Structure 1
């Protein structure tokens, strides 16, 4: 919601409040801001001028020479604009003026003719192209009204202004209006609220002579009011009205449309104007659409409707989609003489469903779908009629047709002062609470041990006692409520699973990996990117009933696509190295179609790339993590069948009889799918198994009393034998005195036959109860060599 501060001042006296304090206090009271922008930032020395003459340029067909009166002098200005006329008031940038973007206006010559300044467009006054009126879109901003020549344009056009953009939550549709934000300001600063005074002076005739209205579905249309205005004069709105709309992000169209938009912004109540002469039999019927009924809306699109969509119809056909958009045939045009003004209250769920079904969302539907107070309908339509009368845009017909079968009345909520103080940690008296709530226009009656709070219908978000507690807190001031410790008879604590998760994350952070969190909703194409076969169980996705789009239409069955997306995004932004992990859930259905809740499995996925990163970088991180989790006796076995990994650089992580994960280099085809031109390494681990085998308890042993004996050996074996096989033989035959076995060299060269390799190990021997003799060590050492020769045909080098 864009709120021009100058417009806000119509309702609350905030002249003595600085912009910084206004924004800060409103944020503290719950009205979060997105941005604060200066309307005419960078604009200096721009004044109001009047075009006195327009003459052809002697040396250029597309240029004209104007004489512009700026109060104390008449300037000659050359321009290429073709939308100006003699007598027009326009903004003039004098010589020495500054415009947005650092543009300075200098005296110059255009095709031999002197130009002493520049006529300004709306864009050159810092307005976005999307809000500039069509009449001024490709030309000079023409000012409608009377102005003092030479007056500072920023003051004359209320451009010395700032616009605050507020983030309005869905539960506060009342704040999607200037009146709503003024109420918040009034309550926050405890200053009076000034509502517009609505008084129609020259009503004529009787509305019932012009139109009849029937509501056939009161469940979908709670209230409908129609008023008629005749002798309509369609023209541009006065500049003050256009400026307010533009600052609020709305493009001016013409006086009638601008008035309906102005009232929508002011009160939050959408209105619509129909050309009454185009309404068959002068009859309006609010009904459900007929199956396959079609309507061509104001945007020129023909839309097919069904019986769930509410329409506004005449005696023959629909003339508008209720709460969303009118039809092209009943549009107000320059030839319109009589209009029917519509203000209504529609069912928010129906509007939300219809808007989504039709794929069309408007400023009106975005308000209706959140819920609007039906009691502001009458005020809003009368306000629109008042503005039409004041601007001389038409003559208002007396009376209104108001169909409102079940009037919404104020409701009451009982609140307990003790409960408020208990929840907030405050010591507010009932009188202080009453004063705070009164600032919000809530009526309060004090009972014995409670307060009866009457809720006005514009605050539809207040339905429970806890809602009132929140209102007291935010208006009293979150920032002045003292911090207190929570009170309770029990203490909470984390489960062992949560502790393991926290320890895993902190360990990986310490090892240099960054945690990421990605969406559980993914694209069905994501599994194709990592080469998952069509018959894989991972393809049994759970489809969402109401997805945000195809990219988020199924529940994920693997974390790998998400992690690769993140790594690829970093790579494409020239990040030289990235190390990341995600601990999250995947969703595996029991049956397709879904008949029960899916199996939610936790997975831990790690990924990395960079110049100094290889397979062993990733393996080292995994081993270090599992070691710190107390998981011992790990082994790694080659995995050549996983479709996402390089067949020669991938291994399964084995613990006992369980495969707890897979790690390796990503397959080149997958890398190409994600746009990598370097190697990427991923580990995908079943965290549910980790939770079962983790041992966070620690036991300590005293340092050994007796010295160790170290022996090195290098054996020549065939290339097909892995280190793991050699290590297992060494450990099996080392007996109780072999303390450790470490591979420290692998050699292939001239002294080694082709197809063979040399594996060098350092063996450490130690006994717990004595100093070992050379004979004891030699015996075990020889046994190890003998077994290596028998099982692997190894030779001592």
Structure 2
């Protein structure tokens, strides 16, 4: 549900609260605000302009030369390519110096020899999605109503200075799928009052009952159906404020009548449908179940085949709408429509859900019927729509409402005691505070023998039992106010077993190394089940698999990881590094239960390291993957018991594969996926490994011994060496480490220079050397002696000398 901050202000005094603060309050009260979109953020300098003159560009057939009043001292000339621009229009103009979405800055320009001082904008250029732009403006600029003020802020006029809160509603909070429902929620949070919209209008002398009749054959699926008749309407665009509210809510404007029904849907949460009365086909509305294989052409111009479980609105003979889902094209409101049959009804949610699913149609109306609407708002919404149609389409509303109503709305009275509320929540909330919370929510509260009698309005269909009321008290009082307590128990505290602790260490290391954890299916198909397996095994098939692709328990984690790699590469994720810890299922004999064995596997492809500022790119190779595995083995303190032996395995590259032996026994493998397999999976050069995690984690190891941090200060010496360009810094570093001996603690390269101040074929490499003696303070003589040995070794080995 998208909630406009400015629209919400029409119903609740928001007290000037920042949208982010309001979002935080709503989230803390139990409805998560998933995000805030600040419309028009960063856009400036867009005003409403008046096109005074328009003529054909002298040097371009598809360009127009316009003279536009932008509210400045003098009008400006703007070259515009929109096909619908014309004299007399009020348009959105990005003036010189304006900034449009995407940080697009407007400058003075010359187009085919003619000066252009600005840009006449379409809605898309102002940041509105194309799917939300009315069809008449989809291929050109937007035209404001004639009464728009020249020079005014166009973004404000389009309500693009608004903040849109996206609510992540759970299925039980259908009451918040409309602006009034959100208003009640926010008013309860802020302690404010809800201002309900007005729905007054003049009624014609003619009665609606003389123009239409209503008959409902299935009162269980449609317990309440109401019809209003509005004549002499004039179809045209809806007012700008309504169009902008609809677009901010994610709905495309169409015309005044359709927009009003959508506006009321968003406002009240009550779906409405407007039929063209003259095209409806009769003066009677019959609501019935469809005949088997009956057809209807819906508003999206698609012919739908119906079944006997679908509810339809008919003219007594032919279906004109699928109840609660979508109207029919035959009786839709068009430009020449002059009379409206307005439907407001309460349809059974399950009936609507089945029709929506069967027909593959999901609409704003069906979503609300499925989750449940307020039965008390059916007629209120119809009255609101009639008042708006009369105001903005000039309609004459016939007096009375034609309806068939079998819907009984009974007050839901729930008894709850203050003691029960506090006992369940583990807090002490005063009775007055609890009563205040319920009244802020719009619930009526009475008392009977120290028990609160709460009358829940029909809009809150999710509150049925006293526990629901207790939850309301908790969330409005504030979950943060619930005191933290420790459980009272005489048992021992929990903790990880040594095996679990090691498994966690494995995951942390791999994630620290740059791999992301994946969770794949334990089920696969016959082709992939045995691929890449460390041990041979018979297949274990499911008796009733969900599909052939998920019918056999896996023997290896690698095939499904490669599927994940392929999936990511197909979506422009060029570098992928994944790992998984999970079970494989091995069977030594046919028709026996499999044994679960825990494995860890990884798959890496693309670039392992990318330093753009150096232009350095390190693609994944065998040694990168081997380094990951070696680091993992070092973390588990078993690296001295493991060896890598070159080998050949099916589906693996014959020259880039090694078995991993633990104490001489096979514990896994590492290598590149065979090029043929890579081509089959449509992946790039990819390296994988899989290890017997259970064997590694149960291997007995000596405890890790840590050396203390030296108590004595270190001495740092920086040297800049001049050496041949062919000599690498790594070669120099190796000589330094060997010559530095036990006192040399750390060597770091911090600068490399090749330039005009160096002789041809030479370069300068600067190192920082740190010397330390853990037993005593180093003397200058000791450091100098070792340092001279380092410099001598460098000169003897690579003719590297100190830079002068």
| TM bracket (short chain) | 0.7 to 0.9
**DSSP-derived class of the 1:527 partner:** helix
1:224–1:345 CA contact under 8 A, matched in 2: yes
1:564 and 2:555 aligned? no
Task: Say whether 1:505 aligns with 2:508.
Answer: no
1:269 aligns with 2:267: no
- The residue that corresponds to 2:172 in the other structure is 171
Q: Offset of 1:147 from its aligned partner?
A: 2.5
- Indicate conservation of the 8 Å contact 2:656/2:672, yes or no: no
Partner of 2:214: 213
Native 8 Å contact 2:90 2:148 kept in 1: yes
Instruction: Provide the TM-score with structure 1 as the length reference.
Output: 0.74
Aligned positions, number: 677
Sort the Cα spacing of 1:53 and 1:676 in 2 relative to 1 into closer, same or farther, 3 A: closer
Contact 1:425 1:484 in 2 (8 A): no
Distance 1:618 1:204, change over 3 A: same
| 2:468 aligned partner | 467
Look up the match of 1:744: none
Q: Distance in 1 between matches of 2:624 and 2:59?
A: 72
- Unaligned 5+ segments in structure 1 are 593-597, 700-797
What corresponds to 2:99 in structure 1?
98
Q: CA deviation at 1:12?
A: 0.7
Shift of 1:142: 0.8
Corresponding residue for residue 601 of structure 2? 606
* C-alpha separation in 1, matches of 2:30 and 2:131: 30
Q: Name the CA shift for 1:440/1:680 in 2 (closer, same or farther; >3 Å).
A: same
Cα distance in 1 between the residues matched to 2:377 and 2:653: 63
CA RMSD of aligned residues (A): 4.4
Whether the 8 Å CA contact 2:349–2:369 is kept in 1: the answer is yes
Q: Distance in 2 between matches of 1:155 and 1:95?
A: 19
| Whole-angstrom distance in 2 between the partners of 1:386 and 1:600 | 71
Distance 2:108 2:355 in 1: 57
Deviation at 1:301, TM superposition (A): 1.4
Q: Report how far residue 294 of structure 1 moved.
A: 1.7
The residue that corresponds to 2:581 in the other structure is: 582
Q: Partners in 1 of 2:260 and 2:580 — Cα distance?
A: 55
Structure 1 residue 314: Cα displacement:
2.0
Question: Quick check: 1:585–1:601 contact (8 Å CA) kept in 2?
Answer: yes
Question: Aligned partners of 1:143 and 1:616: how far apart in 2?
Answer: 65
Change (3 A) 1:571 1:312: closer
Shift of 1:337: 1.9
2:409 aligned partner:
408
Is the 8 Å Cα contact of residues 529 and 561 (structure 1) preserved in structure 2?
no
Partners of 2:461 and 2:233 in 1: CA distance: 37
Superposition map of 1:522-601 within 5 A: 527=528, 530=531, 537-538=539-540, 540=542, 542-544=544-546, 557=554, 559-566=557-564, 578=577, 580-583=579-582
Equivalent residue number for residue 361 of structure 1: 362
Match of 1:245 in 2: 246
Aligned counterparts of 1:100 and 1:515: Cα–Cα separation in 2: 34
- Could you tell me whether the CA contact under 8 Å between 2:532 and 2:559 is conserved in 1? no
Q: Which residue of 2 aligns with 1:326?
A: 327
Secondary structure in 2 aligned to 1:518? coil
Tell which deviates more after alignment, 316-325 or 249-258.
316-325
> Does the 8 A contact of 2:530 with 2:554 survive in 1?
no
Partner of 2:790: none
Q: Do structure 1's residue 417 and structure 2's residue 412 form an aligned pair?
A: no
Alignment match, 1:234:
235
Greater mean alpha carbon deviation, residues 665-674 or residues 642-651? 642-651
**Cα displacement string for residues 186-209 of structure 1 (whole angstroms, at most 9, x for unaligned residues):** 111111111102112234411111
**Against the structure 1 CA distance between its residues 227 and 686, is the aligned structure 2 distance closer, same or farther, given a 3 Å change threshold?**
farther
- Work out the CA distance in 2 between the residues paired with 1:482 and 1:331: 54
Q: In terms of mean alpha carbon deviation, does 500-509 or 49-58 score higher? A: 500-509
Q: 1:471-521: per-residue Cα shift (whole Å, max 9, x none)?
A: 222211223x1532144567597699x875455333554577867352548
In the TM superposition, what whole-angstrom CA distance separates every residue of 1:263-289 from its partner, at most 9, and x where no partner exists?
Answer: 111112221111122223222222222
In the alignment, the residues of structure 1 paired with residue 595 and residue 275 of structure 2 have an alpha-carbon distance, to the nearest angstrom, of: 55
SS at match of 1:58: coil
**Residue 144 of structure 2 aligns to a residue in which SS?**
coil
Give, in whole Å, the separation in 2 of the partners of 1:602 and 1:216.
61
User: Which residue is 1:52 aligned to?
Assistant: 52
Q: CA–CA distance in 1 between the matches of 2:208 and 2:623?
A: 81
Distance apart, 1:127 and its partner CA: 1.6
Aligned partner of 1:388 in structure 2 is 389
2:16 maps to 16
Q: Equivalents in 1 of 2:509, 2:38: separation in Å?
A: 45
Native 8 Å contact 1:56 1:65 kept in 2: yes
Is 1:296 paired with 2:297? Answer: yes
How far has the Cα of 1:677 moved from its partner?
A: 5.2
Matches of 1:75 and 1:565, distance apart in 2? 59
Following superposition, the deviation at residue 441 of structure 1 comes to 0.9
* Aligned-pair CA distance for 1:67: 3.5
Distance 1:51 1:638 in 2: 78
| Residues 449 and 330 of structure 1, relative CA distance in 2, 3 Å threshold | same
What's the CA shift for 1:69? 3.5
- Asked if the contact 2:91/2:142 (under 8 Å) is kept, the reply is yes
Q: What is the rounded CA distance, in whole Å, between the counterparts of 2:127 and 2:401 in structure 1?
A: 42
Give the Cα separation in 2 of the matches to 1:261 and 1:568: 43
Q: Hey, what's the Cα distance between the residues in 2 that align with 1:413 and 1:471?
A: 13
The alpha-carbon deviation at position 328 of structure 1 amounts to: 1.4
Structure 1 residues 321 and 614: CA distance shift in structure 2, 3 A: same
Q: Per-residue CA shift, 1:426-456, capped at 9, x if unaligned?
A: 2111111111121111222233343222211
CA distance in 1, matches of 2:133, 2:215: 38
Shift of 1:317: 1.7
Label 1:403 to 1:638 Cα distance change in 2 as closer, same or farther (>3 A): farther
Aligned counterparts of 1:47 and 1:617: Cα–Cα separation in 2: 60
Could you tell me whether the CA contact under 8 Å between 1:145 and 1:238 is conserved in 2? no
SS in 1 for 2:227: strand
Per the alignment, in what secondary structure is the counterpart of residue 269 of structure 1? coil
In 1, distance between residues paired with 2:575 and 2:53? 64
Which residue is equivalent to 1:194?
195
Counterpart in the other structure of 1:79:
80
User: Within 5 Å, which residues of 2 pair with 1:431-470?
Assistant: 431-470=432-471
Q: What secondary structure, in the 3-state scheme, does the structure 2 residue paired with 1:277 have?
A: coil
Scaled by the length of structure 2, the TM-score of the pair is 0.73
CA displacement at 1:153 relative to structure 2: 2.4
The whole-number CA distance in structure 2 between the counterparts of 1:620 and 1:49 is 68
User: Could you give the per-residue CA deviations for residues 340-389 of structure 1, whole angstroms, max 9, x where no partner exists?
Assistant: 11122222223223222222212222222212122211111111111001
Change (3 A) 1:491 1:326: farther
Cα 1:336/1:174, change in 2 over 3 Å: same
Q: Is the 8 A contact 2:235 2:393 kept in 1?
A: no
Q: Call closer, same or farther: CA 1:102–1:484 in 2, change over 3 Å.
A: closer
1:4 paired residue number: 4
Contact 2:529–2:539 at 8 Å: present in 1 too? no
